Structure 1
């Protein structure tokens, strides 16, 4: 699985293409071997079927060491150490949302949405502009029905916003993007709108109502004030960026 959206996909394709002719040619075999050895700690294949295993594996001593000090397990990858550190930081923080469940033990709505949205066999993947809007709004709406999921979603969104500058600089230092800055601003603005809605009265009131009792028109009107154009965050965005070119 690959958590993504229009921005994520275009960015991924750009980086994969660029890396094939640049950074990937500089990867030593030792570095590639080390990255493969810790792949279980930062998996790029996440589905409903394996998400529990991934979350359990992430708690292992080896994975915890990698999240804390990634270069201790990838010493041969010094020439891409900054990219490894950034992607690892993003992924380890994404676990707080990805591995969270609602009060009944179900994965959180936004995590489930991105799993479905990024499945190439799902119509939402190939028809994002028409389908992602409604499904994305429903995911945010349903997040409001769980205090645990709402807290985890807000925490991760805020992490992305707070670390945006350092992450952007890392990417810009390694790759040349003519439109990255403008696209990135749009993404961050939408993440701020998500948080604003999740903190709003409409969302607070929804926590006392069962998800299947929420009326679509009631919530969608409120969401429309905050989300002019839906942008789905990538929980494993930077993981994908680095793994898709290192292990080519």
Structure 2
């Protein structure tokens, strides 16, 4: 409920307040929408199973969970990299910001994250579900995730795992490296600032952003870039909590609600509703 409320408020603020009609908040609104879909894809079914005592899911339902989860996970990885580039341009090249981050570029970044994430997800979902499951069908996880599904297959999945590594390089290591380099450049620029208040604010913002990024990418990389033989029972389940539940809850707080513009927009919205 926290995740749904926070991210919905963020989207409404961006749509409502003209001061938030900037590339940064445009990308943040897409991140919020991805987080809403992601947690809605996993948590409701988990709660229903817990309350009803039933621990089953249909094959189609499992396939849909895999498809939507991989779409959103891949798309969010690319979107976080786009957001770090936006901050890099804004702080390191402020005079060229409106040229480098124009409407075409921001729309391309957002659309590219969705499209590339979807195409990758379709390929993995179709391939992962074609394996025969001739033994136990008990998934040691709280949702259908590819590594947990591969453990149930009685066919050699080595070739497919190599494909997962390639996807991991594209959607995990490359974006994470770009984010890291962007924030290093930002910090180097901040160190040159004369204002101690500006340095303190920038350090605080960058450190919180990197904490969230690490909490998201770290478990994600550890889950998807290890061979199937090294996945111990239950371990993937605990790691997945970070990038499926905790991070979507923290994203609006870290990226948005600590920002003066967002807080001011929220005050104005509450005042207008109250006066109305």
User: TM-score normalised to the size of structure 1?
Assistant: 0.34
Higher relative contact order (CA 8 A, sep 6+): 1
Whichever of the two has the greater Rg, that structure is 2
Larger relative helix fraction: 2
